[in-house]
């Protein structure tokens, strides 16, 4: 929990806050993926991530080398600490006195430990803020399954924010980041192509993502396409340049026989170069902050590919703690609290966007290995 002795100081909220814009919730928890913080943590972390999937230890050791290139420390936990501090400051600015916790799915501080701590601190209604903005099994339902496991045996009542990639504040952060990246290129990047990047997932998982209405590609792809289109529209409008854009993928990890979303960012850079493109801004819209997939797959691998191709390459920043994004998260908390109170709420979205669900449908983003595994924040069938 954020307090005066934490890495991100802020005033300690009252244990039992007065009724506020966040009532009926009496605690908020940031739920993240987690990551190793030292070389000896790398393999245990990867074993947690892949448990039950039968991935050989040798393959995990290969993936672990990516972390060892950065001292065996993922940036994600430090970024969560920074986001916690920014949220605490926004709470203070708005006069919201409510305790803010943080729990990871795959590394300390573990989600189950934090749920027990929340209960021991005397709280009951918890609002979960996931560091994942899109609908899919791996970016939504798996989080909800982990919330179910973590809350088991407690009396906690847990809700979560709606999917928020289509919130204007999330998109605004990417627009500013894209413009800043274009400014790093010669002539302000007037000849650059915008390449939007997200994590690849199996095509079967993508098709099952999100509730109807959706395209044959599924909600995961639809949501990313809408964000990419809106960022491109706003950037083109602000710069007076009609930019072209693409959606590509990174971090494929499945067997070669299993179809995953394509094209891979490195293959696409080669295709763009062959077609005459000379400058690219990579915009990691699939990631809330600079995860390992960003600093390795983009800043290391994709940047090296671009250098070999003679392609000018700049990577735009993730949303991180951009003020519009932090403010949007708190707006989304206030919105969710209004829904819990059964009050009419405004749910802003980008042009062409979708209002994410507050509770998911039972068959949405199905678990590919265990369709019947229970999860929280779901409509009753």
DSSP annotation string for 232-248: HHHHHHHHT----EEEE
In order of 69, 89, 210, 296, 346, the CA distances from 42 in angstroms are: 12, 32, 32, 15, 43
For residues 250 and 265, the answer to whether their CB atoms sit within 8 Å is yes
pLDDT of residue 11: 35
In order of 6, 35, 73, 282, 288, the CA distances from 32 in angstroms are: 18, 9, 16, 24, 10
Provide the percentage of residues in the chain whose pLDDT is more than 70: 94
Average confidence score pLDDT of the chain: 92
Of the candidates 127, 252, 269, 248, the residue with the CA atom closest to the CA atom of residue 202: 252
Q: How sure is the predictor about 7, in pLDDT bands with cuts at 50, 70 and 90?
A: very low
Residue 220 lies in a domain: yes
The domain tally of the chain equals 1
pLDDT of residue 362: 87
Lowest mean pLDDT among 11-25, 28-42, 117-131: 11-25
pLDDT of residue 133: 97
pLDDT of residue 2: 55
Residue 62 lies in a domain: no
Residue 96 lies in a domain: no
For residues 141 and 364, the answer to whether their CB atoms sit within 8 Å is yes
Q: How many CA atoms lie within 13 A of 98 on its CB side?
A: 30
- Long-range (24+ apart) CB contacts under 8 A made by 271-278 are 272/193, 272/195, 272/246, 272/311, 273/309, 273/310, 273/311, 277/193, 277/311, 278/191, 278/311, 278/312
**More confident: 49 or 269:** 269
Q: What is the mean pLDDT of residues 323-333?
A: 98
pLDDT of residue 56: 80
Of the candidates 353, 199, 367, the residue with the CA atom closest to the CA atom of residue 288: 199
Output the domain CATH number for residue 288: 3.40.50.1400
**More confident: 373 or 17:** 373
Which parts of 185-264 fold into alpha helices (H)? Answer: 203-207, 219-239
Of the candidates 287, 348, 241, the residue with the CA atom closest to the CA atom of residue 233: 241
For residues 108 and 81, the answer to whether their CB atoms sit within 8 Å is no
Of the candidates 22, 165, 36, the residue with the CA atom closest to the CA atom of residue 87: 22
pLDDT of residue 268: 98
Q: Tell me, what DSSP letter sits at residue 18? A: P
For residues 233 and 351, the answer to whether their CB atoms sit within 8 Å is yes
Residue 308 lies in a domain: yes
Q: What is the mean pLDDT of residues 79-83?
A: 98
Q: How sure is the predictor about 4, in pLDDT bands with cuts at 50, 70 and 90?
A: very low
For residues 321 and 86, the answer to whether their CB atoms sit within 8 Å is yes
Q: Tell me, what DSSP letter sits at residue 252? A: -
Q: How sure is the predictor about 189, in pLDDT bands with cuts at 50, 70 and 90?
A: very high
- The beta strand positions in the chain, using DSSP E, are 27-32, 100-104, 125-130, 157-160, 193-199, 245-250, 279-283, 312-315
Is a pLDDT exceeding 50 seen at residue 125? yes
Residue 225 lies in a domain: yes
pLDDT of residue 381: 59
pLDDT of residue 221: 98
Is a pLDDT exceeding 70 seen at residue 6? no
Q: What is the mean pLDDT of residues 37-49?
A: 90
pLDDT of residue 36: 93
For residue 257, give every residue at least 6 positions away whose Cβ sits within 8 Å of its Cβ, in sequence order, or none: none
- The beta strand positions in 105-186, using DSSP E, are 125-130, 157-160
Q: How sure is the predictor about 367, in pLDDT bands with cuts at 50, 70 and 90?
A: very high
Q: How sure is the predictor about 13, in pLDDT bands with cuts at 50, 70 and 90?
A: very low
pLDDT digits (tens, 9 = 90+) for 273-307: 999 999 999 999 999 999 999 999 999 999 999 99
Lowest mean pLDDT among 133-137, 252-256, 316-320: 252-256
Provide the percentage of residues in the chain whose pLDDT is more than 90: 84
Its domain, for residue 197, covers: 168-315
What is the edge-to-edge ordering of all strands in the sheet holding 312-315? 245-250, 193-199, 279-283, 312-315
Tokens of 243: 């930019």
Residue 226 lies in a domain: yes
**More confident: 321 or 63:** 321
Q: What is the mean pLDDT of residues 166-189?
A: 97
Residue 117 lies in a domain: no
Q: Residue 196 in 3-state DSSP? A: strand
In order of 25, 82, 137, the CA distances from 210 in angstroms are: 26, 30, 9
**More confident: 6 or 58:** 58
pLDDT of residue 317: 98
Lowest mean pLDDT among 83-92, 157-166, 325-334, 368-377: 368-377
Residue 252 lies in a domain: yes
């Amino acid at each position: 929990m954020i307090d005066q002795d934490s890495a991100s100081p802020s005033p300690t909220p009252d244990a039992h806050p007065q009724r506020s814009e966040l009532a009926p919730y009496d605690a908020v928890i940031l739920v993240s993926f987690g990551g190793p913080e030292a070389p000896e943590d790398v393999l245990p972390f990867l074993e947690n991530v892949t448990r039950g999937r039968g991935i050989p230890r040798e393959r995990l050791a290969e993936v672990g080398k990516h972390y060892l290139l950065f001292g065996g420390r993922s940036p994600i936990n430090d970024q969560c600490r920074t986001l916690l501090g920014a949220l605490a400051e926004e709470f203070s600015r708005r006069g919201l006195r409510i305790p803010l916790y943080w729990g990871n799915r795959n590394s300390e501080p573990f989600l189950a430990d934090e749920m027990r701590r929340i209960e021991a601190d005397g709280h009951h209604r918890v609002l979960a803020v996931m560091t994942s903005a899109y609908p899919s099994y791996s970016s939504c339902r798996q989080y909800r399954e982990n919330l179910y496991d973590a809350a088991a045996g407690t009396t906690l009542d847990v809700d979560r924010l709606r999917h928020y990639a289509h919130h204007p504040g999330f998109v605004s952060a990417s627009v500013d980041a894209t413009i800043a990246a274009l400014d790093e290129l010669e002539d302000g990047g007037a000849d650059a192509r915008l390449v939007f990047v997200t994590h690849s997932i199996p095509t079967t998982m993508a098709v099952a993502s999100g509730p109807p209405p959706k395209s044959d590609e599924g909600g995961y792809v639809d949501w990313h396409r809408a964000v990419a289109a809106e960022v491109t529209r706003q950037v083109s409008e602000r710069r007076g340049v009609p930019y072209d854009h693409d959606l590509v993928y990174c971090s494929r990890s499945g067997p070669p026989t299993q179809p995953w979303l394509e094209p891979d960012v490195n293959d696409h850079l080669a295709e763009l170069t062959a077609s005459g493109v000379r400058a690219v801004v990579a915009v990691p819209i699939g990631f809330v902050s600079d995860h390992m997939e960003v600093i390795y797959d983009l800043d290391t691998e994709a940047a090296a590919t671009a250098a070999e191709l003679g392609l000018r390459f700049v990577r735009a920043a993730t949303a991180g703690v951009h003020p519009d994004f932090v403010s949007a998260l708190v707006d989304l908390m206030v919105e969710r609290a209004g829904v819990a109170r059964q009050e009419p709420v405004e749910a802003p979205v980008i042009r062409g966007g979708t209002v994410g669900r507050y509770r998911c449908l039972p068959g949405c983003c199905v678990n590919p290995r265990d369709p019947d595994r229970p999860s929280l924040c779901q409509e009753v069938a």
